Amino acid sequence: MNLRSIDLKYSIIANMLQIFLSFVAYLFRKLGIYANVYIQVVLLIINIEVWFAVSTSSVIAKNENNVEGGVIFGIIATSPILFLIFAALLLDRYAQSVSGWSLYSILGAAINFWHRPLILLSRISSGNGYIIYLINVTLLIFVSILSYSYGSRLNNPIE
């Protein structure tokens, strides 16, 4: 199997699990327990563990021993949400005819839903939402790099 097709397969798995975690966070919000910081910490930890596990599975499946694959996997896995973030940013900045609510219902709702398990990180900064989203994605890419380093050690143990 081609190495990039393995990356694509595992990035789809990572995004599906991200959507599942987002749905769980949505259910917590409906139950009224989502505002609890402890719940947000647990969701953040689970989210990081999921991305770590999927990225490690990807490097083991490819039998690679390089960390650069973590950067490539991280970019491939986060490319759908990166596309939505940059499209929303461009529309927000340059589209004069698009009203705020139209933009939100087209792109913002999907972006907010995807980032829901990472909401704890938005408490740290009260800055621009797009910057917070990019920090969240950068965190997941960093987790992918770390997991590739870990998976490379599993593929090629030091004797």
Q: Average pLDDT in the 86-105 region?
A: 71
Q: How far is CA 30 from CA 24, 35, 36, 40, 97, in A?
A: 10, 10, 13, 14, 34
Q: Which of 136, 117, 137, 120 is nearest to 27 (CA)?
A: 117
pLDDT at residue 49, as a whole number? 93
pLDDT at residue 100, as a whole number? 60
Distance CA 137, CA 121 (A): 11
Q: How far is CA 106 from CA 40, 45, 87, 136, in A?
A: 26, 29, 10, 21
> Residue 97: pLDDT above 80?
no
Task: Report which of residues 107 and 101 the model is more confident about.
Answer: 107
> Residue 96: pLDDT above 80?
no
> Residue 69: pLDDT above 90?
no
Task: Report which of residues 83 and 66 the model is more confident about.
Answer: 83
User: Mind listing the pLDDT tens digit for each residue in 118-142?
Assistant: 887 777 766 777 788 888 888 888 8
Tell me which residue has tokens 């991305």: 51
| pTM given for the model | 0.82
Collect all residues with Cβ–Cβ distance below 8 Å to 131 and sequence separation of at least 6: 125
pLDDT at residue 88, as a whole number? 81
Distance CA 51, CA 131 (A): 21
